[in-house]
Structure 1
Amino acid sequence: MTDEAGADAKLVKMIVFAVGEQEYCIPILSVREIRGFEKTTALPFAPHYVCGAINLRGIILTVIDLAVYLNVQPQADNPRRVVIIVESRNGTVCGLLVDRVIDMADVNLSEIQAVAEEDSSLSGLVMIADRMIGVLRLEVVVGQLVGGMIS
């Protein structure tokens, strides 16, 4: 088996989803499940990008509206909106409200073009089938949620 990109190339399976007109991806291993969007319960004093909480089989989860978080025009009347239930490396579980899930893709980590800021919500951009996809840094998104809810 030969690897033209080099022996140290690492492929990671990513789930690709849309928020507004932009596409993003996160590692599939961070995803617990994908559910249809349901009405959320409002959380007082939550950050503006939190659309509320849902009950997932007895566990209360905070749902982040990624369109609001990323300052992208949301598609509110979109019937294909779904909540991606994710778990960050530190064990925090929450939901990400996205406009639609597109597909899964194998991303070579060496092909991700880094963005300027280290604490940015994006770790970089990658080309997948002639489409520029933002690689979401889940730890930053979830970390801001946890920090925002505590303070």
Structure 2
Amino acid sequence: MTEQTAVAEVADDMIVKMIVFAIGVQEYCIPILSVREIRGFEKTTTLPFAPPYVCGAINLRGIILTVIDLAIYLNVPPQTDNPRRVVVIVESKEGVVCGLLVDRVIDMADINMNDVQAVSEEGSCLGGLVLVGDRMIGILRLETVVGQLVGDTVSE
């Protein structure tokens, strides 16, 4: 009986709570522990010479944050007339805080990391795909997205 309990505890460790959002018709997710807050989309201040996927910057209670349009970043036509677009404020493991503009937040899901199907692209922002019910959800590598942002917009 104790072996079964130990196996169950190991299996539970592979479950990660994710926030699920849509970009166009595709659904993606990131770990909920990386999310600081979700805000309505507001006008951004344009950043000169920024990559095309950078919407601009917003003032979040005195902190200036860069906002990434995930639709443009993922090469999906943005839904600019969608009133449900929101900015998900995230923090990377390195402590970089930025906003991700998404078309809509759908829900939260418990993702078993053992069920994730890897994608073959090395250095891709997509960590894998997972089936939740009958929905295929892409798991974004937040560190890759934020790392590319920092690498592209910060020059020394």
Shared fold per TM-score greater than 0.5:
yes
Structure 1 partner of 2:54 = 50
> Partner of 2:10: helix, strand, or coil?
coil
Select which of 8, 11, 26 maps to 2:10.
8
**Is the partner of 1:113 in helix, strand or coil?**
coil
For 2:9 and 2:97, the matched residues in 1 are separated by: 34
- Is the radius of gyration larger for structure 1 or structure 2? 2
Q: Which has the higher helix share?
A: 2
Deviation at 1:117, TM superposition (A): 2.0
Matched residue, 1:34: 38
Residue in structure 2 matching 1:120, options 116, 121, 124: 124
The residue type paired with residue 150 of structure 1 is: V
Aligned pair count reads 150
Determine which of 76, 82, 87 is the counterpart of 1:83.
87
TM-superposed deviation, 1:67: 0.2
- Normalised by the length of structure 2, the TM-score is 0.92
Residue 102, structure 1, aligned to residue 113, structure 2 = no
Query: After the TM superposition, which parts of structure 1 deviate over 4 Å for at least 4 consecutive aligned residues?
Result: none
Q: TM-score, normalised by structure 1?
A: 0.95
Root mean square deviation of aligned Cα = 1.6
> Percent of counterpart pairs with the same letter?
76
Distance across 2 between alignment mates of 1:109 and 1:7: 14
SS in 1 for 2:153: helix
The CA deviation at 1:118 is 3.0
Unaligned runs of 5+ in 2: none
Unaligned residue ranges in structure 1 (runs of 5+) = none
Give, in angstroms, the shift of residue 73 of structure 1: 1.3
Q: Within the alignment, does 1:22 sit opposite 2:5 as a pair?
A: no
